[in-house]
Structure formats: C-alpha cells, structure tokens
Amino acid sequence: MSALEESKFESSCIDSISEVLQFLSGKWTFLVMTQLLREPQRFNQLRRNLGNVNTKGLTDTLRNLEEHQMLNRLVFPTVPVTVEYSITDKGKAFSKVFEQINHWKNEWDSPVQQSS
C-alpha cells in the first residue's frame, strides 16, 4: 500500500470504524446479532442460547442494539408480556462484516502443527 493509499484508508475508514466499534463494543453484541441472524428469539431463548450471559448484560446489549436500529423489539400483549427480538435490515447488512471476518480467519488461521 502506497503512502497515498494508506493516508486515504486512514481518513476514510478510521473514523467510521471507531464510531461503529463504539456502539458494537459490548461483550455480547456480536453473539446476540449472530443468534438473531438465525431466527427471531425471545429474551429467555436468547439467554439460553448464549450460555453464560447474565440478565443485565443481555438487557443492556439488546437496548443498545435497538437504540442503533440493529434489531426490532416486538411486544405481544400476553400475560406475562412476551417480547421477541429480530434483526433489522440494517443488522442483516452487517452480516457481510461477519462473513469477511470468517473469510479472513479461514485464510490466515492455520492449525498449529504438533510435533511428534
């Protein structure tokens, strides 16, 4: 990459990357999004699927993602109230980033060779 290309990369990407990472930096954010990319889920279903997430951590993550329009929160008027979370089009578009992360990992993460 030439100095000009590097400068262009920095000016066009660094601010955007920093901004996105600010609202996606939560511990459970990416895992919640990958779960919702599979299917809409209720709170307890998400909590079970994520394993050791605590209620407060999941609640904070869901609120943050909803605030940034990455997921929808649909409330059903049942007793008790049922809430279902689903990914938005904006959230689905982010799945391309996950695909690129997976591609990069597969390309560069070679298995450790064990010596005999």
State which amino acid sits at residue 59. Answer: T
| pTM, two decimal places | 0.77
For residue 85, the enclosing domain spans 27-100
Q: Strand 41-42 to strand 71-76: parallel, antiparallel, or no bridges (unpaired)?
A: unpaired
Is 35 domain-assigned?
yes
Is 114 domain-assigned?
no
76 compared with 116, residue with greater pLDDT: 76
Is 16 domain-assigned?
no
Report the number of distinct structural domains present in the chain.
1
* 111 pLDDT higher than 90: no
What is the CB neighbour count within 10 angstroms for residue 37? 14
Is 2 domain-assigned?
no
Confidence of residue 4 (pLDDT cuts 50, 70, 90): low
Give the pLDDT score at 16.
Answer: 77
79 compared with 18, residue with greater pLDDT: 79
Supply the CATH number for residue 85's domain: 1.10.10.10
Is 93 domain-assigned?
yes
State which amino acid sits at residue 95. Answer: S
Asked whether the beta carbons of 21 and 6 are under 8 A apart, the reply is no
The two three-digit tokens of residue 96, written as one number: 């391309």
Averaged pLDDT score across all residues of the chain: 86
